Amino acid sequence: MSALVSVSLGRKVRIFLEAIKFEHTIFALPFALLSLLYASEGVPQARVVGWILAAMVAARTAAMAFNRIADRAIDAQNPRTRTRALPAGLLTVRQMATAMTIAIAVFLYAAWQLNWVCFALAPVALAIILGYSYSKRFTPLSHYWLGLSLGIAPSAVWIAVRGALETPPMWLTAGVTLWVAGFDILYSLQDEAFDRAHGLRSLPQTLGAARAIAVSRLSHALCIGAFLMGGVALGAGVWYYVGVAFAAAMLAYEQSLVKPNDLSRLDVAFFTLNGYVSIGLFVFALLDRVF
């Protein structure tokens, strides 16, 4: 009996991790670690690194679980999302809400372990990352809300290390916000008709595919500018700027893959290339700090 329970629990955990796209943590985590590299004087304390990672993973888990709960009725109507865990009946709302509550508790405890400023600002961070789930109901700028939800990570890490927010991580926050918004606009192209039919807001639904892609390209150009300004504010060396150039090349290639009448390579643009952007810039920043 216990073996059956163990198998069932393990399956539920796997379904939950798939439901919240746990592997997409890779999009925000490298930028948090990049901020950690420059905020720390020398080698970061293991304790601080551990609580930062706990806070990051818990915050994203809570946000994704809340999003799945808030969007479950919409997901059930969309052919692209109706197989997700909640509309498909693979998990219950109670199970998702329980996981979300645990994640919020872990996030708050991790913030408290870091410093009092982190703990005081933790509710603000939760309001941003949870509030995103409803933004598509009233603003086509929801892409930028999502971007900010990930973009606050570098600034949050800076506060965790130094106990105060300063200018350098704010450039990184701006860069990540614009980067995420740019690729989310592209990803939302596949739901343009659905959003229009169901009264949901997005830039493709509001502007049309061609103009939305133009806004996405502008956002990515501005994000590279923000990363360059971040390097200046951080006092970064040449390796950091090589990383920014690498990110710019990846984003230029990503944009070349998506056209208003051809979304066939959208998965490559969204998943693969954006993973290269975040990991690549972090690796070059690490080289910059080492050398």
Residue 257 has which token pair?
């893959």
DSSP secondary structure code for residue 165 in this structure? -
Do both 111 and 231 map to the same domain?
Answer: no
142 within a domain of the structure (yes/no): no
* pLDDT per position as a tens digit, 240-258: 999 999 999 999 999 999 9
Which pLDDT value is given to residue 93?
A: 96
pLDDT of 7 above 70: no
- Section 45-70 average pLDDT: 95
Residue 131 lies in a domain: yes
For residues 129 and 180, give the distance between their C-alpha atoms in angstroms, rounded to a whole number. 14
Phi-psi group of 89: left, alpha or beta (phi > 0 → left; psi -120 to 50 → alpha; rest → beta): left
Greater model confidence, 186 or 8: 186
Query: Taking a C-beta distance cutoff of 8 angstroms, is the pair 279, 26 a contact?
Result: yes
Give me the pLDDT at residue 149, please. Answer: 96
Residues 121 and 200 in one domain: no
Give the per-residue pLDDT at 263.
84
pTM of the model: 0.93
Residue 126 sits in the same domain as residue 168: no
Confidence label for 2 from pLDDT (cuts 50, 70 and 90): very low
State the Cα–Cα distance between residues 191 and 245, nearest whole angstrom. 31
What is the separation of C-alpha 223 from the centre of its chain, rounded to a whole number of angstroms? 15
Span of 26-35, 49-58, 118-127, 220-229 with lowest mean pLDDT: 26-35
Position 178 scores a pLDDT of 98
Do the domain assignments include residue 2? no
116 and 188, same domain (yes or no): no
The predicted model gives 247-271 an average pLDDT of: 88
Domain containing residue 117:
40-135
Q: What percent of the chain has pLDDT over 70?
A: 98
Retrieve residue 198's tokens. Answer: 């169901």
Give the angle 226-20-129 at the CA atoms, nearest 5°. Answer: 45
Sign of CA pseudo-dihedral 94, 83, 29, 177: negative
Clarify whether residues 249 and 277 are in a common domain: yes
Give the residue from 135, 159, 176 where a domain finishes: 135
Is 5's pLDDT higher than 50?
Answer: no
In this predicted structure, what is the pLDDT of residue 3? 41
Number of independent structural domains in the chain: 2
State mean pLDDT over 52-62: 95
For the cut 60, the answer to whether the pLDDT of residue 32 exceeds it is yes
Residues 208 and 128 in one domain: no
Asked if residue 278 and residue 218 are part of one domain, the reply reads yes
Domain of 287, CATH number, reads: 1.20.120.1780
Domain assignment present for residue 200? The answer is: yes
The answer to whether residue 266 scores a pLDDT higher than 90 is no
Q: What pLDDT score does 9 carry?
A: 76
Residues 80 and 168 grouped into a single domain? no
Instruction: Convert 200-231 to b/e letters by CB count within 10 Å (16 or more is b).
Output: bbbbbbbbebeebbebbbebbebbbbbbbbbb
Q: Is the pLDDT of residue 158 over 80?
A: yes
Q: pLDDT-derived band of residue 173, with 50, 70 and 90 as boundaries?
A: very high
- Supply the pLDDT for residue 41: 76
Same domain, 161 and 290: yes
In a domain, 125, yes or no: yes
Within a domain: 122: yes
- Give the separation between CA 126 and CA 203, rounded to whole angstroms: 25
pLDDT computed for residue 22 by the predictor: 78
